[in-house]
Amino acid sequence: MIGLFDLSAEVTQRFVGVLTVSPAFENAPGERHVLALSGGKDSAALAVYLRDEYPDLRTEYVFTDSGYELPETYEYLARIEAVLDIRVMRLKSRRNFDWWLKYYGGVLPTPTSRWCTRHLKLAPYLAYLGDGPVFSYVAIRADEDREGYRATRENISPVHPFVEHGIVFQDVIRILEESGLGLPGYYSWRQRSGCYFCFFQTDDEWRGLRQHHPRLFARACSYEENHDDGRLFTWRENGPLSELPTTGDVGKSALAAVGRPTRKLSWALREAGSVADSSAILKAETEEADEPGTEP
Ligand code: SF4
């Protein structure tokens, strides 16, 4: 395990003195410990980390399924269950995206109006957490500059083990590699888990969706076209998917999720291919990466 003293001076300065070690990590009567897996690498690594470092902790593993996830996400969850010998509880909203889309008059969600996150991700998760004391484990790394989900209820205590213990990107990759989990299959062309039509995608990720899942891409297109009153709402800021340029990179932005795209890392990912063999990535130099909008 890497401690705070192993961190760079800059990162250490940011966290030492600000954080105290959480009172979590032990079972107390009436308290629950919940780790929400997003289908991404960091939360998967946190599941491994908790199993290895706190084997006696009675952790509940959950995945909030929007109902519109990538096939690779479901595959990765099944792999997590098999490799770690755990059960991941699937949570789902009672009403699906299509129902909510109608409710919002056909206006697709955007980064500034994330009703999808609220209804499809947060609401089922909060319902699952309930009203009793619960520690909610969040996989933000020590080298990330973001706060993540802020609990709005007093009974929920967010815990950030990677921040508290100085776990950075390279540690996450190593944890996944050593556990045999590796990276999710979509990492060669897309940077984050979530709905296949997620508006946070860059153009090269959309091209990745079109290349790897043409039917899902077609469905994403149909959401832009099928409005009763003829209005057109688009997933992309710069025009409908039908106008997505055919030329351009595929998956370049996925590199950003595993570190800024240094030449070595680009090479490593090309070598890794669609299976995203993390051992190749381990050998590459990386820099701090930011994963925007990680789901709970
Ligand atoms: S993954 Fe994207 S589209 Fe899906 S709920 Fe989250 S923000 Fe919305």
Phi, psi of 90 (to 5 degrees): -95, 125
Q: Do 41 and 148 have their domain in common?
A: yes
Q: Lowest-confidence range among 20-34, 137-151, 219-233, 242-256?
A: 242-256
Indicate whether 68 and 193 sit together in one domain. Answer: no
Same domain, 136 and 195: no
User: With 90 as the cut, is the pLDDT of residue 50 above it?
Assistant: yes
Coil/strand/helix, residue 110: strand
82-120, pLDDT tens digit by residue? 999 999 999 999 999 999 999 999 999 999 999 999 999
**Phi–psi pair at 162, nearest 5 degrees:** -65, -35
Q: Spell out the residues 6+ positions from residue 247 whose beta carbon is closer than 8 angstroms to its own.
A: none
Q: Examine the domain organization and report whether 271 and 192 are in the same domain.
A: yes
pLDDT in tens, 219-253: 999 999 877 777 889 999 989 999 998 876 666 55
Domain count, the chain: 2
Is 288 a domain residue? no
pLDDT score for 8:
37
Q: What is the CATH number of the domain that holds 94?
A: 3.40.50.620
Domain membership of residue 1 (yes or no) is no
**Which has more pLDDT, 152 or 210?**
210
Contact in structure between 79 and 204 (CB atoms under 8 Å)? no
With a cut of 60, say whether residue 184 has pLDDT above it: yes
What is the structure's pLDDT at 149? 60
CA of 194 to the centre of ligand 1 (A): 6
HSE-up of 194 (CA within 13 Å, CB side)?
20
Among the candidates 185, 211, 237, a domain finishes at 185
DSSP 8-state assignment for residue 113: B
Does a structural domain hold residue 294?
Answer: no
Q: Are 176 and 278 in contact (CB under 8 A)?
A: yes
* Within-domain flag for 295: no
Least-confidence region, from 24-28, 36-40, 133-137: 24-28
Asked if residue 255 and residue 119 are part of one domain, the reply reads no
75 within some domain: yes
Asked if 34 and 129 touch (Cβ cutoff 8 Å), the reply is yes
Residue 235 to residue 197: CA distance in whole angstroms: 7
Phi, psi of 38 (to 5 degrees): -100, -10
Mean pLDDT of 184-191: 92
Q: Which atom of ligand 1 is nearest to the CA of 192?
A: 1
Q: Are residues 140 and 244 in the same domain?
A: no
- Give the span between the Cα atoms of 198 and 116, in whole angstroms: 10
Co-location of 75 and 156 in the same domain: yes
Mutate to test the pocket of ligand 1, among 66, 115, 236 (most ligand atoms within 8 A of CB): 66
**Residue 292, phi then psi, degrees to nearest 5:** -70, 145
The reported pLDDT for the residue numbered 280 is 35
User: Is residue 72 domain-shared with residue 172, that is, in the same domain?
Assistant: yes
Rg of the chain in Å (alpha carbons): 19
Check residues 211 and 258 and name the one with the higher pLDDT: 211
CA dihedral defined by 146, 138, 43, 54, rounded to 10 degrees? 140
Q: Domain containing 232: what range?
A: 186-282
Is 121 within 8 Å of 295 (Cβ atoms)?
A: yes
Contact 15, 166 (CB under 8 A): yes
Q: Where are the beta strands (DSSP E) in the chain?
A: 32-37, 59-65, 88-92, 134-137, 156-159
In the reported structure, the alpha carbon of residue 68 is separated from the centroid of ligand 1 by a whole-number distance in angstroms of 9
Phi, psi of 220 (to 5 degrees): -60, -40
Mean pLDDT of the chain: 80
pLDDT value of residue 150: 66
Please indicate, yes or no, whether residues 21 and 135 belong to a single structural domain of this protein: yes
Domain shared by 234 and 206, yes or no: yes
Give the C-alpha distances (Å, rounded to integers) separating 228 from 106, 108, 225, 251: 8, 13, 9, 34
- Measured by CA distance, the residue closest to atom 7 of ligand 1 is 117
Domain-ending residue, one of 142, 168, 185 = 185
Q: Measured from the CA of 194, which atom of ligand 1 is nearest?
A: 1
Percentage above 70 pLDDT, the chain:
74
Q: Is residue 296 part of a domain?
A: no
Kindly state whether residues 141 and 261 are assigned to the same domain: no
Q: Are 161 and 22 contained in the same domain? A: yes
Q: Which of 185, 207, 242 is the last residue of a domain?
A: 185
2 located within any domain = no
256 pLDDT tier (thresholds 50, 70, 90) = low
pTM for this prediction: 0.78
Among 18-27, 32-41, 53-62, 214-223, the minimum mean pLDDT is found in 18-27
First to last CA, the chain: 25
The answer to whether position 51 is within a domain reads yes
Return the residue whose CA atom lies nearest to atom 6 of ligand 1.
Answer: 117
pLDDT of residue 151: 66
